[in-house]
Amino acid sequence: MVVMDTAAAPAPAARRAQGLHADIETLPREALQQLQLQRLRETVRNAWDHVPWHQQRLRAAGLGDPRDIDALDALQRLPFMVKTDLRDNYPFGLFARPLHELARLHASSGTTGKPTVVGYTAQDLSNWSDLVARSMHSAGARPGDLVHNAYGYGLFTGGLGAHDGAARLGCPVVPISGGATERQVALIMDFRPRVLCATPSYALAIAEVAESQGVDLRNSALRVGLFGAEPWSEAMRREIEARMGLRAVDIYGLSEIMGPGVACECEARCGLHGWEDHFLFETIDPDTGEPVPEGEPGELVITTLTKQALPMLRYRTRDITRLTREPCACGRTHVRILRVTGRNDDMLIIRGVNVYPSQIEAVLVGRPGLAPHYQLVLERHGALDSVRLEIEALPSVPEAQYPLLAADAAHHIKSMIGISADLHVLPPGAVPRSQGKAVRVRDLRPKAAAAG
């Protein structure tokens, strides 16, 4: 009898058993790249044949024919796409299928001007459901689990995206959407869902309302939380886990590329697996557009490989992250996207120091006496921009202690991030709560100054 040392290296069959799409999720890199090349060619062909805008730009970049895509490296020769390309072609100019062949539209509201409209064929929706189901499974959800879906339904991709994915996994869904937080608490206790889908900030708002009602969510049946749609920190993860008694998992996505489920953490929670059978991931220097070495921070650039209605070539997400293709403990071979720490356009420059709100969150959340609710307020005094940081105290802290807490927090921000913050500790409830994505930065600067 042959005895194998399974402790050192689990047998591939045992590892493969873990994923929902086990064979694809553990596909060796060479096979994955072959699949990617074939799909990249089809995607460029689709864009070239059906979207005049693409063909013109590809020609201008020196591509004579989609067949010139003979290796994955050829991607580097293609021009980048940016959000304004979608706005400039509003509403349907970049669609590669006529409207009557589509099954659904979604849209994301920009901070200015027209929304970004995205379209899906029935096949696109089916692939999306598969990827959300795969993501939920890798996060720990299982067929039959009841899913409480507090992502907003409607044009936002979170609600329907998570809904269809859960259904594809074989889960019944409570389509509660965001808002009516007291009712959310009651239904979580009464229906006993095992899985919660929400933005991390809204999950905390649910926990807070539960606590104010004397309900301990740690006694609920919630075990897995799929949180995304906004940057959040490890400190926030610990906070949510402690208050809800579940395992908090990071899920990433964006409407321009698909919606939730572009990437998701597995049980190892060492980065989010970007599903490479459907997307190509690169990181670039945001200033030069040159690729950055693996492991270095850069702007995430994504190319879709299977989208029919809206093929996207080298889309600059503005999200800052790092990629690694080092083997993951779970056995999946797909690239890992390390936590998205913020967006390029979220970045504040405070007296010359680049700062992301998530960095401030990482320092503040979990500090004694402080609640995880904060906002950065940008103001302009004369010619100078100033930043005020408002954070709430825990209900147990007497108001007399606020100045002391503020001084202590400001000291930590100075030593960890290098900026002197004008820090104000406020009473509980003073920072507005969101039902979807949290608004972390309130920009009160005059319009012209804020735009610059």
Please report, as ranges, the residues that interact with ligand DLL according to CB under 6 A: 108, 151, 157-158, 228-231, 250-255, 259-260, 317, 319, 340, 343
Minimal distance, residue 300 CB to ligand DLL, in Å: 8
Query: 10 Å Cβ neighbour count for 76?
Result: 12
Minimal distance, residue 76 CB to ligand DLL, in Å: 22
Show the beta-strand stretches assigned E in 344-448: 348-350, 353-355, 370-381, 384-393, 422-426, 441-443
Rounded (10°) CA dihedral 409, 412, 417, 419: 60
Q: Is the Cβ of residue 10 or residue 175 nearer to ligand DLL in the bound state?
A: 175
Minimal distance, residue 10 CB to ligand DLL, in Å: 28
The dihedral through the CA atoms of 363, 367, 372, 378 has a sign that is negative
DSSP letters for 46-103 = HHHHH-HHHHHHHHHTT---GGG--SGGGGGGSPPB-HHHHHHTTTTTT-SS-GGG--
C-alpha span between 324 and 273 (Å, rounded): 10
Minimal distance, residue 326 CB to ligand DLL, in Å: 20
Nearest position to ligand DLL, beta carbon? 228
* Nearest of 187, 202, 196, 176 to residue 246 by alpha carbon: 196
Omega cis (within 30) before 91: yes
Minimal distance, residue 314 CB to ligand DLL, in Å: 15
Report whether 317 contacts 342 (CB < 8 A).
no
Minimal distance, residue 202 CB to ligand DLL, in Å: 11
Report whether 96 contacts 50 (CB < 8 A).
yes
Report whether 95 contacts 52 (CB < 8 A).
no
Q: Is the Cβ of residue 345 or residue 399 nearer to ligand DLL in the bound state?
A: 345
Residues 6+ apart with CB under 8 A from 420: 351, 410, 414
337: its two tokens? 């996207």
C-alpha span between 369 and 371 (Å, rounded): 7
Q: Is the Cβ of residue 311 or residue 436 nearer to ligand DLL in the bound state?
A: 436
Q: Is the Cβ of residue 48 or residue 156 nearer to ligand DLL in the bound state?
A: 156
Q: Is the Cβ of residue 274 or residue 331 nearer to ligand DLL in the bound state?
A: 274
> What separation in angstroms does the CA of 370 have from each of 238, 292, 405, 424?
14, 37, 8, 11
Minimal distance, residue 342 CB to ligand DLL, in Å: 8
Minimal distance, residue 74 CB to ligand DLL, in Å: 26
Q: Is the Cβ of residue 40 or residue 251 nearer to ligand DLL in the bound state?
A: 251
Q: Is the Cβ of residue 194 or residue 343 nearer to ligand DLL in the bound state?
A: 343
Residue the block writes with tokens 């979807």: 436
Minimal distance, residue 115 CB to ligand DLL, in Å: 10
Q: Is the Cβ of residue 78 or residue 229 nearer to ligand DLL in the bound state?
A: 229
Q: Is the Cβ of residue 48 or residue 227 nearer to ligand DLL in the bound state?
A: 227
